[in-house]
Amino acid sequence: MTRNATRKASGSLGDDGRPSWRRRSGLRVERHRATMAHLASVYPAHTDTGFGERGPYIGVNVTGGGSGFFFDPFELYQSGHLTNPNVLVTGDIGSGKSALVKAFLGRELAVYGPRRMVTILDPKGEYGPFAAARGLPVVRLHPGGADRLNPMEHRGDPTETVNRQSLATALVAGVLGRPLDPTEDAVLGWAITTLARPGRPFTLADVAATVADPADELVALSRRTPLELAQAATPVVFALDKLLTRTLAGMFDGPTSVRLDWDRGPGFVIDLSAAYGDDEALPLVMLAATSWLAAAHQRDSPRRVIQVIDEAWAAVRHGARHFQGSLKLSRTYGVSTWLVCHRPADLTAQADDGTATAKIAAGLLSDIQTRVVFRQPPDQVPVAAELFALSERERTWTGQFPRGRALWRLQQRGAVVHTVLTDTEQAVTDTDQKMRSTQGSSLTNSGTDSA
């Protein structure tokens, strides 16, 4: 068989001797596979519509053809993209979490003015430069200081007695390292109910005094002698004494001493850095502070509040149930709570697996629809993938993101966004100044983002 006959038999040539593909109509283009990076250069005008342009500019939508990415939880709630305004920001040290949060807060105040208020719980004391730049007063809580907050403060809310009982129970259980037994819980709850009846302000010191001297009414209800009831309540008395004389002393053991402008002020920062080095005290201090904040935000106001809880793991260690309850009120009072932590597992690792507390902590993640995932350490990538239901490609991204880049997941939609900072914002958000100082080193770091 000749060569031409062989080619004709294989179908590559027609009867007229021409290749078969040339007899077909139109232009034949070879099959080709390309990435979005290549297609973006071929079709440079194609971009993702994203979630609209209402709200402050965040940065570049990397997976949207380089378009701008804008975000405001309240705008997205009104447009139907979100059904709750809370946000979780997680990422490794130096990945850009703080830079994003501080830039976003500053832009919220710049775009919306008095329609927005910013409240920040700062356990590391790193929001000082931001507060100074934006005119936010700083409430510095430390033993022997002049600033005090009363977590038992009276605000006239119909549920505040239950909330006070929940807080006191969580604080005492945190000190004891175990749940309260029925008698201890009853004595503590009754003491708060008794103090709340007149509608007058009271403090944790008043609660401790009432628990130490139970009234005849409670003695009769318990069907115990006064001595037996006093003995049963002794662990609660000692726990409250420790809170008042050591853990919360000079911070939450008296009436509120600070005056804040809730109507027109830009917000404030609560500096808890005095307790940051104490792993035992910090969760209790964070619990008291978040409870005070949650109660303070339950007011009738047209303003929308952005509440930042840094080192959020400490806030849920002893008070996951109490904290979850305050998050569920976000829509009612117009509050967007931003939880910031290094690893997503930090929020679920504060209790033994299978316990009610562990399940509640895990439920916090499901209650938050906006998740901002910066670079994760290798051992945390599988955890993040499971908790956030990441795709295989998203899982790969989260382990390789450069500083300042994150995966934004809003319900079922997502985008990879690189935060863009101005020179002024870089100076205000930088938490690595000492590490990047040229003094004592011949090396410099060109990075501009913060942790």
pLDDT by residue (tens digit) across 79-132? 888 888 999 999 999 999 999 999 999 999 999 999 999 999 999 999 999 999
CB 238: neighbour CB atoms within 10 A? 15
Interatomic CA distance for residues 347 and 46, integer angstroms: 39
Q: Where does 47-134 show beta strands of DSSP type E?
A: 57-61, 67-70, 87-90, 116-122
Mean pLDDT over 253-278 rounds to 92
Under DSSP, the state recorded for 373 is: E
Per DSSP, helices labelled H in 223-277 are 226-232, 234-242
pLDDT in tens, 389-411: 888 889 999 999 999 999 999 88
Let me know the angle formed at the C-alpha of 241 by 240 and 242, rounded to the nearest 5 degrees: 90
Give the pLDDT of residue 316: 79
Interatomic CA distance for residues 211 and 193, integer angstroms: 11
Give the pLDDT of residue 443: 31
Tell me the range of 88-102, 189-203, 282-296, 434-448 where mean pLDDT is highest: 88-102
Interatomic CA distance for residues 79 and 91, integer angstroms: 28
Higher pLDDT, 105 or 298: 105
Question: Taking 50 as the threshold, does the pLDDT of residue 384 lie above it?
Answer: yes
The residues, ordered by sequence, that sit 6+ positions from 96 with a Cβ below 8 Å of its Cβ are 374, 403, 404, 405, 406, 419, 449, 450, 451
